[in-house]
Amino acid sequence: VISAGKLFACISIIVALKWPLEILPWLTSTWLKAFVSAKRIQSFLAAEELPQKSVQRVNGASSEDGVALSIKNCDFSWNFKEEASGQKEEEEGRTETEPASGGNDLK
């Protein structure tokens, strides 16, 4: 026969162990992800430098105004879908692809 004191002690132990046992799978998964990420970062930082012949350097490429990269006469686009509103794109007069710039210079 189980006494009330033993039953209360068993229930208290089960309740006390409930949260650690629920968090254990999440903790294990998170630890493994962090371990894999640390190994990837370590291998990236320890990698050899690129050979000089892999990088093309152009003489006179430095700019007087300090611009490192200049892109001229270009258009950028991506698929546009509006998920927040219930209206269709055709009702708003939009096309499926919206340009990011109108051909202006981008610096």
Q: Indicate the residue type of 27.
A: L
Residue-wise pLDDT tens digits, 53-93:
877 666 665 656 667 777 788 888 887 766 555 545 444 44
Contact 101, 76 (CB under 8 A): yes
Name 105's Cβ contacts closer than 8 Å, sequence gap at least 6.
70, 71, 72, 73
Residue 29 and residue 2: Cα distance in Å, rounded? 39
Residue-wise pLDDT tens digits, 15-49:
999 999 999 999 999 999 999 999 999 999 999 88
